[in-house]
């Protein structure tokens, strides 16, 4: 233990001297490195991070739970053959209890990981059972060190789990009970910065919960809540505000940032409540009334992050001062997001592609300089998760950008990117079609503008069936995939936005059907909007102008339907629907048409309206 303390002290001293040497410079240069781990980080979206009592780092991602031992990642994914695998791949939040058990909140329930047995135990919502979880999707977990795990769901509902008995209690507001919680819901931040918590345990062991309507103190003895014992101001103002987060400072005062009503401070010693808000007064002024969180640095200075940027408390005036160091901060980066306070008084902040250090006493600001490629990978995405490990490394996850590891001593950044095995949906993908697979019962077909994917629901991963290389096998490269249909023989038909209709058989063989003006046996148009096979076995293709065709399998050709001048000028056949009676309805840009199979004709039923679905 003494060696660790000495090593940390030496590292801190070395870092402080290094920063002091740059105090008069505008930037401090950090080196950076980007590396991929083929069996490593499973997804670029990291929702939460935690270092456990044994030193392992855990990453909650959209495609599995990852454990990092300093050398390798181990990824935990759902396995339908293993009832003790993790319940869902989308992991949202993490917590560890005082027995060393890891608790994992996912989009598919709560999991307890027993590391001795290497098993996951599941807690799920059950119909007609109020002693089960309120919902499957969990956004935040808070362990109160009293054998209670507080659970916040994506919809803001609150549950509490007794980790010894396994009993779950749901907390709901009851207007007839003054000792019930003030509101059913809390503000459920998707962002997992540690400061953004609406639940805290204070120095005396009391648990406080900030809801959408006021502040609550939990009484464990009788499983109730107190809310009106602070002052008369509490019942008239604080009971009606939306609380964003909670924080207790070193003087045991409770700070309450709210969403729209500024900042409150409760002093239990005097039982008084102070209110800070935006205004023209010279005292207690904030830059904005929408406050996210407050934190205290190692020099005991208090900092508040609002929707208009960062401010700090002036103890002499007992008011807040807006931090505006416009000399070194570009205009688009004025709103700094603080995420970590070092022991030497420096605060790490970020905004967009930039990272800055602020000294808590002098308020000097230092820009962290990294190479252009690193800034490009860093991007302007939101900071979603943060963790400091026992070696002093700073880990933070940015939206869809993987994980960043920063070593302040060596002044080195590592950018850890997802595995390269392409089992994930491409970032920012546009989805044009989703179909239940006929040949893979647990899977879905997913169509993006340039790719055909198969999603395995049990494994929670994508397989790239056809991607951009697929276009090289066509008669003419495809502009865009538009629609998808799986036939009775499990083959796939793909409509495109300018290169016709594509038929992909189960053996991978591909045929492309194109429009030819002087050949009436070809498809009506190269822009295909919809595909449908009716009960009589006929395959219909809706496309652009003159846009209805029927496929003839016996001759591998098409019949075009162009009944009269009106239908010839219809701009688009958007959708096709078949009734149980066998009647076929076609929605177009200029009206609704009905196909009469006996007469082999189309009749306009509703004129002048665009029918898209």
pLDDT band at 348, cuts 50/70/90?
A: confident
**CA–CA gap between residue 379 and residue 34 (Å, rounded):** 14
Q: Tell me which of 383 and 51 has the higher pLDDT.
A: 51
CA atoms of 44 and 62, how far apart (whole Å): 8
Q: Read out DSSP for 353-367?
A: TEEEEEETTT--EEE
User: Given pLDDT bands bounded at 50, 70 and 90, which one contains residue 168?
Assistant: very high
CB atoms within 10 A of CB 367: 18
Question: Residue 576: beta bridge partners?
Answer: 586
Confidence check: pLDDT of 121 > 90? yes
Highest-scoring range by mean pLDDT, 160-174, 238-252, 493-507, 530-544: 160-174
Nearest alpha-carbon partner for 477 in 499, 494, 493: 499
Q: Among residues of the chain, what percentage have pLDDT more than 90?
A: 15
Residue 411 has a pLDDT of 64
Q: How confident is the model at residue 166 (pLDDT cuts 50, 70, 90)?
A: very high
Kindly report, residue by residue over 217-230, the tens digit of the pLDDT: 898 888 998 864 45
- Helix (H), strand (E) counts: the chain: 4, 50
| Local structure of 235: helix, strand or coil | helix
- Overall average pLDDT of the 330-338 stretch: 56
Q: Residue 105's pLDDT band (boundaries 50, 70, 90)?
A: very high
Q: For residue range 46-103, list pLDDT tens digits in order.
A: 788 898 999 898 989 888 899 988 778 899 999 988 999 999 988 999 999 999 999 9
pLDDT digits (tens, 9 = 90+) for 532-579: 888 888 898 888 766 788 899 899 999 887 645 444 455 567 788 887
- Among 566, 567, 561, residue whose Cα is nearest residue 549: 561
pLDDT of res. 146: 85
Burial pattern 271-294, b for ≥16 Cβ within 10 A else e, equals eebeebbbeeeeebbbbbbbbbbb
CA 422 to each of CA 63, 453, 461: distance values in angstroms, whole numbers, following the listed order: 12, 11, 9
CA distances to 50, 88, 119, 241, 278 from 101, rounded to whole Å, are 13, 18, 11, 35, 44
Phi-psi category of residue 489: left, alpha or beta, with phi > 0 → left and psi -120 to 50 → alpha: alpha
What is the C-alpha R_g of the chain? 30
List, as one string, the DSSP characters of 516-572. -TT-TTS-S-SBEEEEEE-TTS-EEEEEBSS-EEEEETTTTEEEEE--HHHHHT--B
pLDDT tens sequence across 281-312: 545 578 888 888 888 877 788 888 887 777 88
Look at residue 171 in the predicted model and tell me its pLDDT. 93
**pLDDT greater than 60 at residue 122:** yes
Average pLDDT, the chain: 75
Sorting pLDDT into bands at 50, 70 and 90, what band is 246? very high
Dist. CA 177–CA 158, nearest whole Å: 17
Residue 416 tokens read as 């850890």
Burial class, 13, CB count within 10 angstroms (exposed 0-12 / middle 13-18 / buried 19+): exposed
Give dist(CA 597, CA 341) in Å, integer. 74
Span 134-161, pLDDT tens digits = 988 898 899 998 899 999 988 888 999 9
| pLDDT exceeds cutoff 60 at 232 | no
Distance in Å from the first CA to the final CA of the chain: 68
* CA 423/CA 442 separation, integer angstroms: 16
Q: Which two tokens stand for residue 586?
A: 């076609």
pLDDT exceeds cutoff 80 at 38: no
- Contact between 192 and 177 (Cβ < 8 Å): no
pLDDT given at position 275: 86
DSSP assignment string, 35-80: EE-TTS---S-EEEEEE-TTS-EEEEETTEEEEE-SS-EEEE---T
Lowest mean pLDDT among 6-20, 546-560, 592-606: 6-20
Distance of CA 71 to the CA centre of its chain: 27
Burial state string for 436-459 with b = 16 or more CB within 10 A and e = fewer than 16: ebeeeeebbbbbbebbbbbbbeeb
How far apart CA 143 and CA 161 sit, in angstroms, is 10
Q: Is residue 34 pLDDT above 50, yes or no? A: no
**What are the chain's domains?**
433-607 (2.130.10.10)
**In a 3-state reduction of DSSP, which class is residue 387?**
strand
How many other CB atoms are found less than 10 A from the CB of residue 473?
13
Per residue in 460-474, pLDDT tens?
566 766 544 565 666
**Does the pLDDT at position 129 exceed 70?**
yes
Q: Which two tokens stand for residue 560?
A: 């075009």
The whole-number average pLDDT for the span 212-216 is 85
Is residue 329 predicted with pLDDT exceeding 90?
no
In the structure encoding, which two tokens stand for residue 427, read together? Answer: 């970032």
- What is the tens place of the pLDDT at every residue in 388-435? 666 677 775 655 556 667 776 666 666 665 545 445 555 545 667 777
Q: Does residue 104 have a pLDDT over 50?
A: yes
Task: Identify the pLDDT of residue 125.
Answer: 92
In 3D space, the residue among 71, 42, 37 whose CA is nearest the CA of residue 57 turns out to be: 71
d(CA 282, CA 289): 16
449-464: average pLDDT: 70
Per-residue pLDDT, averaged over 181-205, amounts to 76
């Amino acid at each position: 233990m003494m060696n660790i303390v000495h090593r940390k002290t030496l590292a801190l001293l070395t870092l402080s001297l290094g920063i002091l040497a740059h105090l008069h410079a505008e930037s401090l240069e950090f080196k950076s490195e980007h590396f991929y781990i083929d069996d490593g980080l499973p997804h670029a979206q990291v929702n939460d991070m935690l270092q456990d009592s044994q030193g392992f780092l855990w990453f909650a991602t959209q495609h599995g739970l990852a454990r990092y031992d300093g050398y390798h990642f181990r990824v935990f994914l759902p396995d339908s053959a293993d009832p003790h695998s993790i319940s869902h791949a989308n992991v949202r939040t993490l917590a560890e209890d005082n027995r060393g058990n890891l608790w994992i909140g996912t989009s598919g329930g709560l999991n307890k990981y027993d590391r001795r047995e290497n098993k996951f135990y599941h807690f799920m919502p059950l119909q007609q059972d109020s002693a089960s979880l309120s919902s499957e999707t969990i956004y935040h977990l808070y362990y109160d060190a009293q054998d209670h795990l507080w659970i916040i769901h994506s919809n803001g509902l609150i549950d509490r789990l007794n980790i010894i008995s396994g009993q779950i209690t749901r907390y709901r507001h009851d207007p007839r009970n003054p000792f019930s919680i003030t509101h059913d819901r809390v503000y459920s931040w998707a962002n997992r910065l540690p400061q953004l918590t609406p639940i805290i345990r204070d120095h005396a062991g009391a648990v406080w919960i900030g809801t959408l309507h006021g502040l609550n103190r939990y009484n464990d003895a009788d499983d109730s809540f107190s809310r009106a014992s602070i002052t008369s101001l509490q019942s008239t103002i604080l009971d009606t505000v939306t609380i964003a987060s909670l924080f207790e400072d070193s003087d045991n005062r409770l700070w309450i940032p709210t969403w729209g009503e500024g900042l409150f401070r409760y002093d239990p010693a005097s039982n008084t409540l102070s209110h800070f808000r935006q205004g023209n007064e010279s005292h207690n002024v904030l830059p904005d009334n929408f406050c996210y969180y407050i934190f205290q640095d190692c020099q005991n200075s208090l900092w508040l992050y609002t929707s208009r940027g960062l401010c700090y408390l002036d103890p002499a005036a007992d008011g807040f001062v807006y931090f505006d160091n416009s000399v070194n901060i570009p205009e688009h980066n004025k709103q700094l997001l603080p995420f970590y306070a070092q022991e030497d008084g420096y605060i790490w902040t970020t905004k967009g592609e930039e990272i800055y250090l602020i000294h808590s006493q002098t308020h000097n600001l230092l820009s962290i300089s990294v190479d252009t490629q690193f800034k490009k990978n860093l991007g302007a995405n939101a900071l979603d998760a943060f963790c400091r490990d026992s070696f002093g490394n700073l880990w933070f996850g940015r939206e869809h950008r993987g994980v960043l590891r920063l070593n302040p001593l060596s002044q080195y950044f590592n950018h850890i990117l997802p595995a390269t095995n392409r089992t994930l949906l491409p970032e920012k993908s546009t989805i044009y079609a989703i179909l239940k697979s006929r040949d893979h019962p647990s899977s879905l077909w997913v169509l993006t503008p340039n790719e055909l994917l198969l999603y395995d629901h049990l494994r929670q991963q994508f397989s790239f069936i056809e991607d951009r290389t697929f276009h090289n096998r066509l008669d003419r490269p495809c502009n865009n995939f538009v629609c998808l249909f799986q036939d009775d023989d499990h083959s796939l038909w793909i409509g495109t936005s300018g290169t016709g209709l594509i038929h992909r058989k189960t053996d991978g063989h591909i045929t492309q059907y194109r429009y030819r003006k002087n050949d009436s046996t070809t498809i009506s148009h190269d822009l295909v909007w919809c595909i449908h096979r009716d009960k009589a076995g006929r395959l219909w293709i809706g496309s652009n102008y003159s846009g209805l065709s029927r496929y003839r399998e016996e001759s591998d050709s098409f019949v075009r339907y162009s009944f009269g001048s009106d239908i010839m000028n219809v701009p688009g056949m958007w959708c096709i629907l078949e009734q149980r009676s066998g009647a076929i309805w076609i929605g177009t840009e200029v009206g609704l048409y009905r196909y009469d199979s006996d007469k082999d004709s189309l009749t306009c039923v509703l004129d002048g309206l665009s029918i898209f679905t």
